[in-house]
């Protein structure tokens, strides 16, 4: 299982809607997922979409650490052809980071509660509800399937910053900045 190169902002594969997966149980999909898992772990991310590794298919993997989700861990999840439905009109802005936009972070509005459905690797349909950070991760990763990167969702581009600059400024002010697995400040 090789670690795959991660496409960065500007790459054509990240600008277009990914194709639906016809057979979620196909061996090629399982092989792709295994490579994506290795790549995500190596990059210290919490999620990865197939377009980020150069594959234009609607495949997402993610997990949510308990410390970011009210002590409730969401284990590694593989989503094929996911669909998201907002369950509230409420959005919250928080910092996000992305493996395809390295070293940067910015505040992004996201639905605070969603329902999402997908097909798993065995071909079974799964439906879940999520809120807060869990909902944010799912929305962020699924955006990749539609050719959207988080800076395109930002309402105030003044919040787009290099993580190291935010950390240095916080230290200069006598504050500590805690960052998540991908480098986004935790508010």
141 is catalytic: yes
Is residue 185 within 8 Å of residue 164, measured between CB atoms?
A: no
Q: What b/e sequence results for 6-23 when a residue is b if at least 16 CB atoms lie within 10 Å of its CB, and e otherwise?
A: bbeeeeebbeeebeebee
Strands of the chain, DSSP E: 47-49, 59-64, 74-86, 91-98, 101-111, 113-119, 125-131, 161-162
- Catalytic one of 141, 169, 181, 182: 141
What is the Cα–Cα distance from 143 to 86, expressed in whole angstroms? 14
Question: Residue 55: exposed, middle, or buried by beta-carbon count in 10 A (0-12, 13-18, 19+)?
Answer: buried
Which residues does the annotation mark as catalytic? 141
């Amino acid at each position: 299982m090789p670690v795959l190169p991660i496409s960065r902002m500007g790459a054509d594969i990240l600008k277009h809607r990914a194709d639906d997966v016809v057979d979620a149980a196909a061996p090629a999909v399982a092989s792709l997922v295994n490579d994506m898992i290795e790549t995500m772990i190596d990059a210290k991310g919490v999620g990865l979409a197939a377009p980020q590794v150069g594959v234009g298919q609607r495949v997402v993997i993610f997990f949510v650490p308990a410390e970011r989700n009210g002590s409730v861990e969401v284990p590694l999840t593989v989503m094929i052809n996911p669909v998201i439905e907002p369950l509230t009109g409420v959005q919250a802005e928080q910092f996000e980071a992305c493996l395809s936009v390295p070293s940067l972070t910015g505040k992004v509005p996201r639905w605070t509660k969603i329902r999402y459905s997908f097909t798993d690797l065995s071909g079974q349909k799964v439906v879940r509800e999520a809120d807060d950070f869990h909902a944010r991760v799912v929305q962020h990763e699924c955006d990749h399937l539609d050719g959207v990167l988080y800076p395109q969702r930002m309402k105030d581009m003044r919040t787009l910053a290099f993580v190291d600059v935010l950390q240095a400024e916080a230290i200069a002010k006598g504050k500590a900045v805690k960052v998540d697995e991908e480098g986004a400040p935790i508010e």
